[in-house]
């Protein structure tokens, strides 16, 4: 945007002292280079250098002074010093009138627009940009014009006018391509990708983000690469590929913290909060959003504050803290409306409806649904959820006819969503047909004006019809080919699944064979020693034989239980049972064993929690987890058994001290016969099926079990059971 300034400085060479001119030429590129990677250091240097500029430079050589002021204001914006940036920019705005200094005035307007965008003042930003566009309309300033178009696109994107945003940003990209400015092309591809992401066109969004990433890699621009990775992470989040999304957002946060822009840091925290909330890691999500919220409150950015508050409200809703959720959502809605942040406003309104639904405030929820459905440009995804909630509310109010109508509307929107992908696939074909149709209309108009060429007009018409029919036939063939490809893909997926199942079965048989062979080999050796009188201690030999037979018996019993669960043979004997009594019973069994091993066992549980469960099976799970903790924790360690009720679930946790497990081990610890070789040894007598059986028992109770790192230094197993079982 500002590369031409070095050339303009040359015109003032005669009016500068030799030292001032030499200093200005040498220092400005260095400061600009710092601006991209270390904006804080760039601001310090440019502030110092502005103080050193002499009066001649300020009064005559506007190019030099303006160039440094431009870097100063840009650095302030990057660092979130928005008030300081606006104050400095307003000084420039008053200094350069539009008649005598149209370019400086336009550049200053661009700086003010960017600063106002940072605080979500889209209308002020739009005013400055339109004035700047008028000033450069007849000037040869392609780089400045490209930046103005791009920022117009960004402003309209903030106002949820995605069609206008796309038009302006594509125009900016065209100009950047004409002047071969790779840096701007990369940035504009990134902006276009964001717009396509917002309107749900993920394919086009990914294409533009990947182009941006390639260009940024060529340039070695770390911030640019971070922006592209951040936006690709957002698409992965929309596609529910949460692990990939988490990885991209974490990388973006590291770079953002290095560069120091509070808006970027807050955005990364917000995205990490959303992904962790989707993974049900609510405490981690809340920590991220609180950090992001503190940053945007410090710089008073209403739109960003509203977005962070909307995430916080959703987290409180997931935690069943409805009062906190409603308070955060109401504040978010007020800020979103004042900042014209349409996208955030719709999200917050939906959150408020879900809060009212959870609070049984049926009338309020229905009223809010009607208001939201009446908003212009409401997306199908929002409509689908709104009709679903509306139907549930009517059912709750026993107004069944209205509920049926809401269900019909929900089904209709779902059908539209389903058809959207097919429409995207045929869009290019439709555009081609439309081009042919328009060409044909033009041909007909020309022939009507020239009656003497009627025969030629008829020939052109026939040819056009043939082309149209051929295009339609080609389109039909394309659709048939696409369907066949989809069928072939489905067949390949099924074949792969069958192959995977066979491979898993063979691997399981091999693992079981290996597990059985180990104790059998030891047993055979012991029997042969007895047979040939090679064992001096007969009693110890029989004890060893008995131990190996018990080990085989346990392994076969575990394999049998696992097979019963796989084949749905084993039935649960559920009844209302006190979870506290069950935990107390298990605790009494393990107290002597833990004391014998000099291992500390701590139990914390709530009172009077009774749910429907098979007590013997759940006890089997707890015994297995405590046995594992006792067997695999270092001597003198600690185990904590806790239980509490939250969000319609009972959570029972068993965590212990070192040693712990790696991330890979945590993801595979429930696999049959899987052992973590570094810390879990076959010599301890386990079959390798215990945790797999525990998982099957919990799934049979419609619950879930997972492993995580423990704050004590070891492993934490979490068992979640619903307080009300479904039938």
Instruction: Report which DSSP code applies to 159.
Output: T
- Tally the domains of the chain: 3
Tokens of 721: 């059971």
Q: Distance (Å, rounded) from C-alpha 314 to C-alpha 322?
A: 10
Residue 286 is predicted with a pLDDT of: 93
DSSP structural state of residue 601: E
Q: What does the alpha-carbon distance between residue 7 and residue 454 come to, in Å, rounded to a whole number?
A: 61
Closest among 158, 147, 148, 188 to 170, alpha carbons compared: 188
Beta strand 600-605 with 704-709: parallel, antiparallel or unpaired? Answer: unpaired
Bridge-based pairing of strands 600-605 and 638-646 is: parallel
Q: What is the largest CA-CA distance in the chain?
A: 122
Q: What percent of the residues of the chain are helix, what percent strand, and what percent coil, each to the nearest 5?
A: 75, 5, 20
Q: Which residues of the chain have pLDDT under 70?
A: 1-29, 31, 33-37, 52-62, 417, 420-455, 500-523, 525, 535, 540-541, 544, 547-548, 550-555, 557-570, 673, 675-688, 725-727
> Is residue 644, in this structure, part of any structural domain at all?
yes
Query: 552-569: per-residue pLDDT in tens?
Result: 666 676 666 666 666 555
Collapsing DSSP to helix, strand or coil, 600 comes out as strand
Answer yes or no: are the C-beta atoms of 32 and 2 closer than 8 Å. yes
Last residue of a domain, one of 500, 530, 565: 565
Which pLDDT score, from 0 to 100, does residue 128 have?
86
Q: Are 349 and 368 in contact (CB under 8 A)?
A: yes
**285 domain-assigned:** no
Question: 720, 705 in Cβ contact below 8 A?
Answer: yes
Please give the backbone phi and psi of residue 440, each rounded to the nearest 5 degrees, phi first.
Answer: -70, -40
The predicted structure's pLDDT at residue 114: 85
Do 7 and 54 fall within a single domain? yes
592: tokens are 């002597």
In angstroms, the CA 319 to CA 333 distance is 20
Q: Where are the alpha helices (DSSP H) in 633-689?
A: 663-668
Question: Does some domain include residue 45?
Answer: yes
Would 476 be classed as within a structural domain? yes
| Token pair listed for 384 | 């689908």
Please tell me whether residues 520 and 610 are part of one structural domain.
Answer: no
Residues 714 and 606 in one domain: yes
Cα dihedral 450, 454, 456, 462 in deg (nearest 10)? 120
- 696 shares a domain with 674: yes
682 and 627 inside one domain: yes
What CA–CA distances, in Å, run from 482 to 53, 411, 477, 489, 493? 67, 26, 8, 10, 16
**Cα first-last separation, the chain:** 65
Distance CA 644, CA 616 (A): 20
- Domain hosting 713: range is 575-722
As given in the structure block, the two tokens for residue 68 are: 């440094």
Name the CA dihedral angle for 269, 270, 276, 278, rounded to a multiple of 10 degrees.
-170
Residue identified by tokens 């409200």 is 313
pLDDT of residue 544: 64
User: Is the distance from CB of 611 to CB of 577 less than 8 angstroms?
Assistant: yes
Q: Is residue 608 part of a domain?
A: yes
Q: Do 579 and 711 share a structural domain?
A: yes
Question: Is residue 258 in a domain?
Answer: no
Q: Does the predicted TM-score (pTM) go above 0.75?
A: no
CATH number of the domain that residue 661 is part of? 3.30.565.10
Q: Which of 28, 56, 79 is the last residue of a domain?
A: 79
Tokens (6 digits) for 500: 């995977």
Q: Quick check: 337 and 321 in contact, CB under 8 A?
A: no
Beta strands in 343-501 (DSSP E): none
Same domain (yes/no): 516, 591? no
DSSP string, 111-141: HHHHHHHHTT-HHHHHHHHHHHHHHHTTS--
pLDDT of residue 315: 92
Phi, psi (deg, nearest 5) at residue 614: -90, 100
Q: Residue 626 domain-assigned?
A: yes
Same structural domain for residues 517 and 646? no
Task: Find, among 167, 185, 166, 183, the residue nearest to 175 by Cα.
Answer: 185
Shared-domain flag, residues 589 and 698: yes
Instruction: Kindly list the distances between the CA atom of residue 207 and the CA atoms of 147, 221, 249, 441, in Å, as whole numbers in the listed order.
Output: 22, 19, 19, 34
Q: What are phi and psi of 711, to 5 degrees?
A: -65, -20
Site of tokens 């995430």 = 311
- My answer on whether 521 and 606 are in the same domain is no
- The count of residues in the chain is 727
Neighbours of 469 (CB within 10 A): 10
- C-beta of residue 244 within 8 angstroms of C-beta of residue 236: yes
Domain-embedded: residue 97: no
Q: How far apart are CA 272 and CA 285, in angstroms?
A: 7
The distance of Cα 340 from the centroid of its chain, to the nearest Å, equals 24
Q: Which of 79, 104, 132 is the last residue of a domain?
A: 79
Say what the pLDDT of residue 503 is: 66
DSSP per residue over 688-707, as a string? S-HHHHHHHHHHHTT-EEEE
- Would you tell me the crossing angle of helices 579-596 and 615-632 to the nearest 10 degrees? 30
Cα 519 from Cα 210, distance rounded (Å) = 55
How many Å apart are CA 296 and CA 266, to the nearest integer? 7
The three state secondary structure string of 375-408 is CCCCCHHHHHHHHHHHHHHHHHCCCHHHHHHHHH
- Residue 155 and residue 129 in contact, taking contact as beta carbons nearer than 8 Å: yes
Using DSSP, state whether 651 is helix, strand or coil.
Answer: strand
CB-based burial, 255-292: b 16+ in 10 Å, e otherwise: bbeebbbbbbbbbbbbbbbbbbbeeebbeebbebbebb
**Axis crossing angle, helix 380-396 with helix 400-449, rounded to the nearest 10:** 150
Q: Are residues 551 and 593 in the same domain?
A: no
605 and 715 fall within a common domain:
yes
- Calculate the CA 721 to chain-centre distance: 27
Tokens of 649: 């679930």
Q: At what angle do helices 39-52 and 62-78 cross, to 10 degrees?
A: 150
């Amino acid at each position: 945007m500002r590369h031409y300034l070095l050339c303009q400085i040359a015109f003032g060479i005669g009016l500068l002292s030799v030292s001032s001119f030499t200093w200005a030429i040498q220092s400005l590129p260095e400061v600009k280079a710092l601006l991209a990677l270390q904006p804080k250091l760039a601001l310090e240097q440019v502030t110092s250098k502005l103080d050193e500029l002499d009066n001649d430079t300020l009064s005559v050589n506007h190019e030099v002074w303006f160039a440094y002021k431009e870097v100063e204001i840009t650095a302030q914006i990057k660092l979130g010093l928005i008030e300081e940036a606006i104050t400095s920019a307003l000084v420039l705005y008053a200094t350069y009138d539009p008649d005598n200094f149209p370019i400086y005035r336009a550049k200053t307007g661009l700086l003010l627009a960017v600063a106002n965008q940072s605080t979500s003042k889209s209308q002020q930003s739009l005013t400055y940009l339109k004035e700047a566009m008028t000033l450069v309309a007849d000037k040869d300033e392609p780089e400045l014009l490209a930046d103005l178009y791009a920022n117009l696109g960004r402003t309209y994107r903030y106002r949820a006018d995605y069609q206008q945003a796309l038009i302006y940003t594509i125009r900016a990209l065209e100009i950047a391509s004409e002047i071969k400015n790779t840096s701007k092309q990369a940035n504009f591809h990134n902006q276009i990708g964001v717009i396509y992401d917002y309107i749900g066109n993920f394919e086009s969004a990914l294409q533009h983000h990947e182009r941006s990433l390639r260009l940024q890699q060529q340039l070695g621009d770390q911030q640019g690469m971070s922006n592209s990775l951040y936006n690709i992470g957002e698409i992965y989040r929309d596609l529910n590929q949460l692990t990939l999304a988490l990885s991209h957002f974490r990388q973006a946060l590291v770079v953002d913290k290095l560069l120091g822009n509070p808006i970027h840091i807050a955005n990364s925290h917000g995205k990490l909060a959303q992904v962790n909330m989707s993974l049900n890691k609510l405490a981690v999500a809340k920590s991220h959003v609180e950090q992001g919220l503190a940053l945007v409150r410090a710089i008073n950015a209403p739109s960003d504050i509203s977005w962070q508050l909307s995430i916080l409200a959703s987290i409180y809703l997931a935690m069943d803290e409805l009062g906190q959720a409603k308070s955060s959502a109401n504040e978010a809605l007020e800020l979103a409306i004042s900042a014209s942040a349409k996208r955030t406003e719709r999200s917050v309104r939906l959150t408020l409806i879900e809060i009212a639904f959870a609070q049984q405030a049926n009338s309020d929820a229905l009223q809010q649904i009607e208001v939201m459905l009446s908003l212009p440009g409401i997306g199908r995804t929002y409509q689908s959820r709104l009709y679903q909630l509306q139907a549930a509310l009517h059912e709750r109010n026993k107004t069944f006819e209205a509920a049926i109508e809401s269900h019909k509307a929900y089904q209709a929107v779902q059908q539209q969503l389903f058809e959207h992908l097919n429409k995207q696939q045929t869009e290019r074909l439709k555009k081609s047909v439309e081009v042919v149709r328009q060409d044909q209309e033009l041909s007909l108009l020309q022939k009507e004006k020239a009656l003497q060429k009627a025969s030629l007009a008829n020939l052109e018409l026939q040819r056009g019809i043939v082309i149209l029919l051929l295009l339609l036939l080609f389109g039909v063939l394309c659709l048939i080919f696409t369907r066949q490809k989809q069928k072939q893909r489905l067949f390949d997926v099924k074949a792969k699944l069958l192959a995977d199942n066979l491979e898993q079965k063979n691997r399981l048989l091999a693992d079981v064979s290996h597990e059985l062979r180990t104790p059998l080999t030891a047993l055979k050796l012991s029997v042969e020693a007895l047979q040939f009188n090679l064992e001096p201690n007969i009693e110890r030999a029989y004890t060893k034989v008995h131990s190996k037979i018990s080990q085989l018996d346990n392994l076969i019993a575990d394999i049998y239980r696992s097979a019963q669960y796989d084949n749905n043979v084993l039935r649960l004997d559920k009844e209302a049972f006190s979870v506290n009594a069950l935990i107390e019973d298990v605790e009494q069994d393990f107290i002597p064993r833990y004391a014998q091993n000099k291992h500390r066992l701590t139990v914390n549980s709530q009172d009077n929690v009774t749910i429907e469960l098979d007590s013997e099976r759940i006890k089997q799970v707890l015994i297995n987890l405590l046995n594992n903790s006792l067997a695999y924790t270092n001597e003198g360690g600690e185990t904590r058994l806790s239980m509490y009720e939250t969000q319609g679930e009972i959570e029972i946790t068993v965590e212990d001290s070192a040693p712990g497990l790696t991330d890979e081990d945590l993801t595979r610890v429930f696999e049959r016969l899987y052992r973590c070789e570094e810390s879990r040894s076959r010599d301890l007598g386990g079959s390798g099926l215990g945790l797999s059986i525990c998982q099957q028992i919990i799934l049979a109770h419609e619950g879930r079990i997972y492993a995580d790192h423990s704050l004590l230094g070891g492993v934490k197993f979490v068992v979640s059971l619903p307080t009300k079982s479904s039938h």
